[in-house]
Amino acid sequence: TDEACSSFTRLSFHSAVVGTELNVKLLLYTRKNLTCAQTVNSTAFGNLNVTKKTTFIVHGFRLTGSPPVWIGDLVDGLLFVEDMNVVVVDWNRGATTVIYTHAASKTKKVAVVLKEFIDQMLAKGASLDNIYMIGVSLGAHISGFVGEMYDGQLGRITGLDPAGPLFTGSPPQDRLDPSDAQFVDVIHSDIDALGYREPLGNIDFYPNGGSDQPGCPKTIFGGFQYFKCDHQRSVYLYLSSLTEDCTITAYPCDSYRDYRSGKCVSCLTPQKESCPLLGYYADHWKDYLKEKDPPMTKAFFDTAEEKPFCMYHYFVDILTWNKNIRRGDITIKLRDKAGNTTESKINHEPATFQKYHQVSLLARFNQDLDKVAAISLMFSTGSVVGPKYKLRILRMKLRSLAHPERPQLCRYDLVLTENVETVFQPILCPKLQM
């Protein structure tokens, strides 16, 4: 049959002002209809093949009535990586309102509609194991409500910056929690405003600490982006796991501060070689993460300002021989033979250099330069007046965390003068060095 394509409900800001009645529309995309959605419901399944995985995408609060800008990319990305059914849960009528509490009050009703549809899928032979829900903001809690109605037997829920306002502090049955599915992974990108601060899943990812995202406006002069940029970043980070070559590695850790101090960069998972990856493939660590008691892990990482968001982590080990203790920030630049450069400022808290004590600093670079031809170091105490301090370095060592098999780079006997960039060529570190 040649039906016209269905599309996501588009409303005007006028609708937001007067408010909208709840109406849930399910839009199905498969590899057979990549660009032309079919409206499906409990009696019309269209191209939906119940033997395949089905991913539901559930959006959140809509202030202006417009469709979420990322919907198309998320559908494309999912169908690119796997042959599945993708169902966009369009509850724009209901979510569109200037009054957030009105949208939030409809979340349980949306979940009931989804339950009815999934019940029909099960009756036709689908398995709960094959059901995956990706919920954004309020959509994360909706996904949790659906999961709870199936006693946590849904395959997986991904919460993308689950909504905080009205949900923070509520009991597990009134929000997303790890018991809502067989595996629950969460990205928190705006915990100081629209998002939820506390962990809600088997693994909770906190990009850049979870409060503010690089590249987002820091003041209200950034316009509307000021309100939603941090919140929406969770979606773009998830998307990057479907489309970008560089993967975002996260480091299980108790706090962002400990991560930045380099205390949490070995994952020590017995069966895995690397740390958990953010996004679509986070479930590769499911068995390991669920073994913990309670089965919850927080993971931290930093990102670049724009896609590809991934950063490359190195340790810079510095051994000094100053008589007095020196405290300060280090800026390190790498250059390869082709002249590409990348820079990392290690300034989240002053490093303390003490005679004959090795300090290991975590450096994060936007680019991964394979063959480093030159390194520059700059030391700064942050004081503008007074004498220029010197940092006497006995040995500096650079080692890649992502590629531990790469040769480590060393340099001996350097004197850094405060705020002066010192450029040098590294040499290979001797093997079996302590």
Query: Which CB atom, from 47 or from 225, has the smaller least distance to Ca ion?
Result: 225
Please report, to the nearest 10 degrees, the dihedral formed by the alpha carbons of residues 424, 425, 430, 434 taken in order.
Answer: 30
Nearer to Ca ion, 192 or 421 (CB): 192
3-state secondary structure (DSSP) of residue 196:
coil
Annotation-wise, does 180 bind a ligand?
yes
CB of 216 to Ca ion, least distance (A): 7
Which lies closer to Ca ion via its Cβ, residue 190 or residue 418?
190
Query: How big is the CA angle at 409 (ends 404 and 411), to the nearest 5 degrees?
Result: 150
| Least distance between Ca ion and beta carbon 165 (Å) | 13
Cα gap 307→215, rounded to integer Å: 11
The one catalytic residue among 137, 189, 240, 344: 137
Q: 312 pairs with which residues across the strands?
A: 365
Estimate to the nearest angstrom the gap between the alpha carbon of 416 and the chain centroid: 37
Residue 177 is assigned to a ligand binding site: yes
- Identify the CA nearest to 113 among candidates 90, 138, 135, 85: 90
Of 90 and 177, CB closest to Ca ion = 177
Among 161, 230, 283, 317, which one carries the catalytic annotation? 161
Residue 161: active-site member: yes
Q: Interface with Ca ion by CB under 5 A: which residues?
A: 144, 148, 172, 177, 180, 190, 192-193, 211-212, 230
Is 231 assigned a catalytic role?
Answer: yes
Q: Minimal distance in Å, beta carbon 196 to Ca ion?
A: 12
Cβ proximity of 139 and 37 under 8 Å: no
Local structure of residue 404 (DSSP, 8 states): T
Residue nearest to Ca ion (CB): 230
Can you count the helices (H) and strands (E) in the chain? 9, 19
Min dist. Cβ of residue 340 to Ca ion (A)? 32
Nearer to Ca ion, 234 or 249 (CB): 234
Residue closest to 311 by CA, chosen among 266, 367, 373: 367
Contact 391, 416 (CB under 8 A): yes
Report the b/e string of 333-356 with b at 16+ CB within 10 A. Answer: bbbeeeeeebebebeeeebebeee
Q: Is the Cβ of residue 75 or residue 110 nearer to Ca ion in the bound state? A: 110
Residue partners of 311: CB distance under 8 A and separation at least 6: 301, 302, 303, 304, 364, 365, 366
Residue written as token pair 């042959």:
83
**Rounded distance between C-alpha atoms, residue 364 and residue 368, angstroms:** 10
Q: How far is the CB of 305 from Ca ion (least distance, A)?
A: 15
Residue 187 CB, shortest distance to Ca ion, in Å, is: 14
302 marked as part of a ligand binding site: no
Q: Catalytic residue, from 59, 188, 231, 313: name it.
A: 231
Write out the binding residues. 175, 177, 180
**Which residues carry a binding-site annotation for Ca(2+)?**
175, 177, 180
Show which residues are catalytic: 137, 161, 231
